Amino acid sequence: MERFVKGIRKKGVKNPFVLQKELQCLALKADSFRKTIIHRDFQSQNIMITDNAVPCLIDYQGARIGPPAYDVVSILWDPYVRLEDSMREGFINYYISKRKDIEGEGFMEEEFRGTLISCRLQRHMQALGAYGFLSAVKAKKYFLKYVPEGLRLLKQDLSVSGDGYPVLRELVMEL
């Protein structure tokens, strides 16, 4: 997100040490969640439909081990495609039902739901940082048009995340 804040918005960080501590707490929290293989860039632009109407994932070279909620968040809170909250909730419920079909009692629904907001925060900061890098460093100005939606989503994330990130919240609200 630094590329976005400094490179695109030309803002400084008032309290960088406290912000760094907040971001480390967020990272540690996300790292504490159950892990699986994740695409890590599971967004609408990375899903292609073949001539036979079969969906295929592209741009998967960044796949990592991480919390499954990260991919769920990436597609349902995608700055490229705005979804209604009711549609998101329907997809989350569908995902949960399929995970329960596979894992049975081993799938912890409340734990999964609890991971969504941390993953939303991380994903939207990552996306805004990518837009900053791609537009400022790689001269791909095309990505700037997604900044308003990415920023709106990050502000929304912070509004529902509780009080754990006051310096991050202040910074984002000023952008």
User: What is the length of the chain?
Assistant: 175
Q: What is the mean pLDDT of residues 152-175?
A: 94
Q: Average model confidence (pLDDT) for the chain?
A: 94
Classify burial at 121, counting beta carbons within 10 Å of its beta carbon; exposed 0-12, middle 13-18, buried 19 or more. Answer: buried
The domain locations on the chain are 2-174
**Amino acid 14: pLDDT:** 87
CA atoms within 13 A on the CB side of 51: 0
CATH class of 2-174: alpha beta
Instruction: Supply 139's token pair.
Output: 């001269």
**Amino acid 39: pLDDT:** 95
Q: What is the mean pLDDT of residues 116-127?
A: 97
| pLDDT tens-digit series, residues 17-37 | 999 999 999 999 999 999 999
Q: Given a cut of 90, is residue 10 above it in pLDDT?
A: no
| pLDDT tens-digit series, residues 67-110 | 999 999 999 999 999 999 999 999 999 999 999 999 999 999 99
| pLDDT tens-digit series, residues 44-64 | 999 999 999 999 999 988 899
Buried b / exposed e over 62-73, threshold 16 CB at 10 Å, is eeeebbbbbbbb
pTM, 2 dp? 0.92
For the residues of 34-63, what is the DSSP string, one character each? --EEE-S--SGGGEEE-TTS-EEE---TT-
